[in-house]
Structure 1
């Protein structure tokens, strides 16, 4: 029974950074547009770590190129969920740069340090371990690929749902400079500048890109307990830099050194109270984007990295690739769980992450065999701290305040070896087999304790606050210091049959695993949760029906075992105790269908549609009575962020005139209802649809572009995140029992309202 339904609500895709290229080569765009006329476009991808046509890859995937990204006005990665069936890409609750990703019902909601995602995020084949800052501004993007289903052989752990791959452009070798400016609703003002110059002709090139992205809030903080705070809610204030050096000494050798940095100073995101407060004057606001807070409204995400890529074509059969990367991110954030002006349940927090990865690939290609193999090393320190401030509860106990501080680190190392090959048995039949062996080791420390005062992570967090480490350390003790390791062999086996030159049938089995982990909120010593395992079978076909119709379809089943979950264990004798235990609670399953259709109706008109259907459910959830016995409570659990049906229809129309070329496009995206709370769901988003339209103009000389884009034109309202700290009252249907902090805390986060933007670009 659904207790709360949000009818056509607003979503908070207020994502910190934009995905569109800051430097489209406009003459090249026009040329590519011409190539698309008169038939279907050949789309090349690297889903299997080698370049091939999307129609040759026996994997369900979506690829969106730079031209489509620019012409559709796609500004953030979350918009790609509209183009990929059974995919949810959304901005996390309470923060501005954290990505929540689910594919086929598999993902990870909680972005706390130490937790592993269920969908891998890759930038130029470099794995981003943490969701904080995963919504990056990528300058000069060539395409984005969304791979659906477990990718355990080529991509390894934490891709049990799938993978999202950003692929950036290589430089052209010419001297170029482009500028793009955007203005729009909510005082949007974006500036993107990018250029490249040859330092040594045909050999050494330097590229520099810069983006400054600003927008006022969709709403405001109606009240704040702190003076002088910026009251904007859902605003954007982002700067991004990218410097690239490419060296091409011979036709067989390519070297790229890249540095990028993103600084997001957008405000913390305040949630919408779905119930009036019991403890203060905080009624349900009129706008879904308005909120209340007792915390500072500032927020910050810093994410930077440096990477070196070396590609060497040894001969006509062998190619070698080395990818070396180091990344750091730092995120101090303010999350007001209760969203009132009182300190009922406030959580200021810090996330601090470092990672280093090294991958070596050796690829082999002959007439009948294509082989990808590699060695992979990953090491990361993922640390964090949060203060659960329950000030009102502390005052009721006669103390000046009350805070539960939790801090610690989860440091991990991973090594892997993998190989995957496709062999042509006959002219029509081929087999693909792959496997990856991974060994993970994690070492975790957790400090946990109760301080009878209101404390913050650092001095100066609020005006005048001085942190007394001696007093805090006397109460916050080390409760966990442990190490564990896991290893896993993840196979893939598939068959492909080329029924005709334009129709390929395929079937595949694949397995993936999400790493085991320790509980970063542990209050007592407890063992680590074991890895999650997903086994998937899918069958499908890819077809080009003549030169004008492309139809791809997949049916799949998956079994998701040993799902990790944090259970809250209340203490009936002490309301200040916040015991949370991490364990493997049980298993879920899903079966579904995905379809992608493209029709080149005329030389100028292209239409497309995609459809996703999935039936995902929990089959078993173990609630332990004692060490030997448990009861099944799977009827109380929902697979969240996963609508049963999602569909998208759209068109692109090209017109040529004496004034330049025009490209008109639009789409309508539809999702059926979906749950947002996994246990005892209290919040369901009703079905909704989004309507988008755009008009683009290219000058005849290829130097000017203008784009006018409208998003969510019907101003639909829809939920993308929540915090639920209440329970149903079994004695009074429709009523609720207050949760932690003693208030009715049921909070929703919403997506962007209707927005309109105008972009003007010039290529020097």
Structure 2
């Protein structure tokens, strides 16, 4: 495995920061001060409540206490706790997620593409990346399961899964109001609470949050024809609401009905031009957060859902659970690829998704064995439209004829899934146990694509730009589908289906009462799909398959030291990729289509170490190492250089220290997080992020009574600049000169993570 040396000063800074910090929360702080030793952590990685140290799975659990003391408010920051994990806001919005675990994920958020990391909120699958960057509210913990989870969680968890677990109600009347103020005029407000409608039986919970912030940069120039626009870039304007009704008619029956809605009206993000434009006056900006645009800056990402959960403990051995949910999302987004005030390469788009899911699960615990099994149904419609507006190019190629140029792509990728699963753990001897599991999934998919061009600018909606009126009769031909009438015209969706058996086999050995050794083989699969950008008739890409082998040790050496270490090897086969093949009617022409390439392999290590140095001081270390390689495949036009969004190693060192005083409890929390080099795209090093480290520091306070609390938190205090997304539509010749790409310009742009920020929080609960 490739090794790299870290600068000694970086390590020194990391150690110094770790030794100056700590986490803790609410009434738990007092008990923590009196209790020496390691915390008992409960997780539901195997769909039943278990001690983290007894679960033969590589999983990180981040508690509400950890989140509060670290000043974390957004799910993407969880990547700092979990080795070999990438969770980042995607290119054009605050709310679209890019997720990779162990080198496996999905970068393209277009409808039809399936994710490689599953996101779950209270066991409900979040199917699309739009709106998946969640602002945290009423959360009990977040679990990150690394490696394929195909047996218990099903399709699209080939890299792993991230589980958001909400806090159950206490049954008492509670109310909490919290405000935060900080850099770039950050103004957040959260109001949460619960009301007993029937004592000890029926409770209503509520939460509403507003998260606002000015932009880190600005749009330096916007097209004149757009009129007055909001020029803030990287601003934030999000609201989130949750309502929950919980019913406990008996001690053995629990019913939860939940509804949530999130609305993100932050401006569309403008990218940072890494090269000056050769078409117009658009030099490289001074700040990485500044940009230009020829599109309106407004943007919308809206999601909502309703879910029903029923838990019934039939008896001491048998428990039943039913989960039903319906979720919808709608996005109307403006993405200026070229980031100039000229319509060189603009892509306004609409995404519209809806899905329903139903799961019936049974858990049985016997003498020396346990079984969990269930049935799962999923039905989804995923549609969208985008217009690749190349106006400047059209006017240049067809002077006096064209007023612009547009390629419009629209369509749907709809899917239905049915699955049955079962997994059992049983004792072979007093020390040796085994886990056997299997899931059978049937996946059906229908898709159609309309794709065509016009020699004028086309936008998805009539009011997209001032004065624009979309012709209601404007239609682009269907290019992917079936001819149901046999008249030579495509008028119905194309369809395909796949069935997959995903097993899991594991062996666990309890060496002593503090040490568990485990080994496992597991498989996951990502659904087959159709090319949402198809320009002609083509078949569906086959599912991706991941085979994983793990060896691990979990050990509490004493009451102070815990080490959890996992070695793994992943074989990722039939990766879905845009492949290039000769045209069947003309061998000199190459066609691009979505197909499958051979795959990739990844081997690595994950180590999570906790040291409770004293009653008040705890130090945590998380290290991830990866060695990934993509197999050569002649069907790929450009040779693949390496895995995207996947550094060779990640390193996190943190510490927390509890201080008791006459005015309450203080927790000092600090940490250093380092990500090694990574590329944003697998076929190019034009967007390559050098390794960087960030330092966070926070102080949390809570009154002795526990009603007042607050804190001050600094993020990325060294003000590191690091890329999290980008677009590359330019190439270099052998002499290193840049060659214009699509749109006729040297379009190379990147998007960046948050700069240094400081915020103060104050709250009151009763």
Structure 1 length as normaliser, TM-score?
0.93
CA deviations over 1:91-133 (Å, ceiling 9, x no partner): 1011221000000000000000011000000001111110000
CA deviations over 1:491-525 (Å, ceiling 9, x no partner): 00010000010000000000000000000110100
Cross-structure match for 1:245: 245
Cross-structure match for 1:668: 672
Alignment of 1:215-230 (within 5 A): 215-225=213-223, 226-230=226-230
CA deviations over 1:55-101 (Å, ceiling 9, x no partner): 01101110000011011001111111111000011110112210000
Alignment equivalent of 1:591, drawn from 603, 617, 629: 603
CA distance in 2, matches of 1:288, 1:249: 56
Shift in Å, 1:227: 1.6
Cross-structure match for 1:10: none
Cross-structure match for 2:409: 406
CA distance in 2, matches of 1:74, 1:464: 43
Shift in Å, 1:31: 5.1
Cross-structure match for 1:344: 344
Shift in Å, 1:479: 3.5
Alignment equivalent of 2:621, drawn from 606, 609, 631: 609
Cross-structure match for 1:318: 318
Shift in Å, 1:678: 1.3
Correspondence 1:697 to 2:701: yes
Check whether the contact 1:270–1:291 (CA below 8 A) recurs between aligned residues: yes
Check whether the contact 1:145–1:164 (CA below 8 A) recurs between aligned residues: yes
CA distance in 2, matches of 1:435, 1:71: 39
Cross-structure match for 2:586: none
Check whether the contact 1:224–1:293 (CA below 8 A) recurs between aligned residues: yes
CA distance in 2, matches of 1:168, 1:761: 20
Cross-structure match for 1:686: 690
Q: Secondary structure at the match of 1:469?
A: coil
Cross-structure match for 2:5: none
Shift in Å, 1:681: 3.0
Q: CA RMSD in A?
A: 1.7
CA distance in 2, matches of 1:578, 1:194: 57
Cross-structure match for 2:57: 59
Cross-structure match for 2:572: 560
Cross-structure match for 2:107: 109
CA deviations over 1:205-237 (Å, ceiling 9, x no partner): 001110011000000010000221100000000
CA distance in 2, matches of 1:29, 1:214: 30
Cross-structure match for 1:749: 751
Alignment of 1:498-513 (within 5 A): 498-513=510-525
Check whether the contact 1:522–1:579 (CA below 8 A) recurs between aligned residues: no
Alignment of 1:223-622 (within 5 A): 223-225=221-223, 226-396=226-396, 397-398=398-399, 399-470=402-473, 472-473=474-475, 475-480=476-481, 481-567=493-579, 580-622=592-634
Check whether the contact 2:33–2:615 (CA below 8 A) recurs between aligned residues: no
Shift in Å, 1:566: 2.1
Shift in Å, 1:617: 1.1
Shift in Å, 1:476: 3.8
Alignment of 1:63-78 (within 5 A): 63-78=61-76
CA distance in 1, matches of 2:329, 2:363: 32
Alignment of 1:201-220 (within 5 A): 201-220=199-218
Cross-structure match for 2:154: 156
Shift in Å, 1:608: 0.6
CA distance in 1, matches of 2:580, 2:131: 28
Check whether the contact 1:618–1:634 (CA below 8 A) recurs between aligned residues: no
Shift in Å, 1:568: 7.0
Q: Secondary structure at the match of 2:441?
A: strand
CA distance in 2, matches of 1:672, 1:519: 33
Alignment equivalent of 1:656, drawn from 660, 665, 674: 660
Check whether the contact 1:319–1:364 (CA below 8 A) recurs between aligned residues: yes
Further displaced range: 681-690 or 493-502: 681-690
Correspondence 1:720 to 2:757: no
Shift in Å, 1:737: 1.2
CA distance in 2, matches of 1:478, 1:683: 33
Shift in Å, 1:620: 2.9
Shift in Å, 1:578: 12
Check whether the contact 1:153–1:490 (CA below 8 A) recurs between aligned residues: yes
Q: Secondary structure at the match of 1:248?
A: strand
Shift in Å, 1:579: 6.3
Shift in Å, 1:697: 0.7
Check whether the contact 2:581–2:635 (CA below 8 A) recurs between aligned residues: no
Check whether the contact 2:24–2:69 (CA below 8 A) recurs between aligned residues: no
Q: Secondary structure at the match of 2:193?
A: strand
Alignment of 1:121-200 (within 5 A): 121-200=119-198
Alignment of 1:15-94 (within 5 A): 27-30=26-29, 33-34=32-33, 37-94=35-92
CA deviations over 1:537-558 (Å, ceiling 9, x no partner): 0101000011000001001000
CA distance in 2, matches of 1:88, 1:32: 34
CA deviations over 1:269-299 (Å, ceiling 9, x no partner): 1100000000000000000000000001000
Structure 2 length as normaliser, TM-score?
0.93
Shift in Å, 1:695: 0.3
| TM-aligned CA distance change 1:165 to 1:713, over 3 Å | same
Check whether the contact 1:26–1:703 (CA below 8 A) recurs between aligned residues: no
| TM-aligned CA distance change 1:392 to 1:568, over 3 Å | farther
Shift in Å, 1:622: 3.3
CA distance in 1, matches of 2:38, 2:45: 20
Unaligned runs of 5+ in 1: 1-23, 572-576, 625-632
Shift in Å, 1:451: 1.0
CA deviations over 1:353-375 (Å, ceiling 9, x no partner): 00000000000012311111000
Check whether the contact 2:151–2:438 (CA below 8 A) recurs between aligned residues: yes
Shift in Å, 1:137: 2.8
Unaligned runs of 5+ in 2: 1-22, 482-492, 584-588
Cross-structure match for 1:5: none
CA distance in 2, matches of 1:416, 1:636: 34
Check whether the contact 2:445–2:497 (CA below 8 A) recurs between aligned residues: yes
Further displaced range: 578-587 or 610-619: 578-587
Count of residue correspondences: 723
Cross-structure match for 1:12: none
Check whether the contact 1:515–1:530 (CA below 8 A) recurs between aligned residues: yes
